[in-house]
Amino acid sequence: MEYTEITIKVDSYLTQKNLSYKYLIEGYFTKMHNYIRILASDSHVKNLFSNKDNKKYVLNLLLNFENSDRDINYIYIGHPDGSLVINNYEPPDGFNSTVRPWDKIALKNNPEISEGLPYQEIKTKEWLVSLSKVLIDDHNNVSGVIAIDTSLQRLINILNNKNDTLFESQNTFVITNNGDIIIHKDTEMLRKNFYEICKTASVNSRSEYTFKNLKKIYVVNDINTVHWRVITEIDKSELVFHILKRFALAIIIVISCTILIGLILSKILGERIIRPILNLKKRTQLILDRETITSDYLYPNNEIGQIAKDLENITLDAIYLKNKELHDLNDKLKALSETDQLTGLYNRRKLEMHLHHEFTRYLRYRGVFSIILFDVDNFKSINDNYGHSTGDFVLKELSTLLKKHLRESDLPARWGGEEFLILCPETNGQNALIIAEKIRKIVSEYDFGIDRAVTISLGIAEIDENTPNIDSLLVKADKNLYKAKNSGKNCTVFQ
């Protein structure tokens, strides 16, 4: 059996492992990006400091986001005067938000969301990863900075679970496209530049570098949605150890016996045991260094030779099985990254991809499509009066009704909380209104198992020449939903 297969399988294992971490980090931070975009576009948030009445609404809005996702440590807004709007946190004396790193990097990256910043919380000294964005009010002035923090330790636990790895030295971390390290289990490495450590201008998908006199092998995958790169590395020396560690006990026994037996058997033992093992190590090192083996070597026809062959097969089989598990896991992770776990519908990220695809088709062919945005009327009171488990049941039943009664071409998704969005390709606004009314009536007549009717309010928007982008289309649908709410709820508005 060719030893090159071992190197290939190890490379494949690292690639699959790195890809699974890519999907995890991509899903984790894509939702954080979406949260910031949603909040930054909210009129109350943008104009928070120009209207005193906005503060209570905004604090409640931020609290709802915090309660809906345990991955959020803090979510807050800094004012240009240095003050901070945040729930359940008292800034220390002399606190000035404008000198905090998350505020500075947001201004530097304006108008985009910051690339990601590791920093220590000023009071607890806990390490956090922050995403932030400049807020622009209705007068096109900078009105503050909104930021979301998540725990660095939580991310390290996700990326470096020792119960799910073949190698002790395995380490996974995250850098920006510029090479700055933003997630790493060693906090001393944070904010250092990986390209400078590697002494290169960029890194390839699979390469090697030396750090503190240790040769390391790594693979890398890009997360284009957040402009990051995920790197998984192991010590190169561990590959040799991984192949030979199953021999360790046998080697110790052999060496002990050699000492006891003495010089009489030293030559025999050297020929039968030491030489094959040294040849195995030499050939293995050649494989790891990607050098060509110029001659074939036959293990001796004895117990050691048979053990070497058997352990070689066991090692290759273990790597094969691990790679197969990683393939299956990646398929599951991809499905999780596109599906809302509670309802089984598409999640917001997946439907946004379909929206952009449909908008591209519209720009090219000038076809038509519409969207239906709706939410459950008085959903908070359902949670308050019947409990969150009943609220979850209502959302799941509502999703089942959508799957059953919508057309095959319609794409429903859970947009956030109790809010849903339906993409209707090749459908004008009037036909979307028919679909919306059908769903509204079905929901209002359906028995959800509680002593009150469950209703929905719907807003419709149709793509047209006055709608320059997807965001404008969503704003139009949201305004119509707002009108439906103000019209007594349980109705549909298309204007």
Among all residues, which ones are annotated catalytic? 418
**Phi, psi at 247, each rounded to 5°:** -85, -10
Spatial separation of the C-alpha atoms in residues 439 and 434, rounded to whole Å: 9
Tokens representing 252 are: 């110790």
C-alpha distances in Å from residue 133, one per residue of 113, 349, 397, 415, 429:
5, 19, 37, 22, 34
Spatial separation of the C-alpha atoms in residues 236 and 480, rounded to whole Å: 60
Helices 275-288 and 303-338, packing angle to 10 deg: 30
The tokens 């050939």 sit on which residue?
283
Helices 388-405 and 379-386, packing angle to 10 deg: 130
**233 half-sphere exposure, CB direction, 13 A CA radius:** 24
What number of other Cβ atoms are within 10 A of residue 153's Cβ?
Answer: 13
- Asked whether the beta carbons of 195 and 179 are under 8 A apart, the reply is yes
Tokens representing 236 are: 């190169």
C-alpha distances in Å from residue 210, one per residue of 190, 197, 287:
18, 8, 19
Of 305, 10, 284, residue with least CA distance to 167 = 10
Spatial separation of the C-alpha atoms in residues 353 and 347, rounded to whole Å: 10
- Asked whether the beta carbons of 137 and 47 are under 8 A apart, the reply is yes
- Asked whether the beta carbons of 467 and 368 are under 8 A apart, the reply is no
Of 485, 351, 475, residue with least CA distance to 424 = 351
H helices, E strands: number in the chain: 16, 15
C-alpha distances in Å from residue 110, one per residue of 47, 128, 161:
17, 21, 36
- Measured in residues, the chain has a length of 495
Spatial separation of the C-alpha atoms in residues 441 and 491, rounded to whole Å: 9
Spatial separation of the C-alpha atoms in residues 188 and 165, rounded to whole Å: 24
Tokens representing 239 are: 């590959």
Tokens representing 165 are: 């790895």
Name the 3-class secondary structure at 50.
Answer: helix
**Phi, psi at 223, each rounded to 5°:** -110, 95
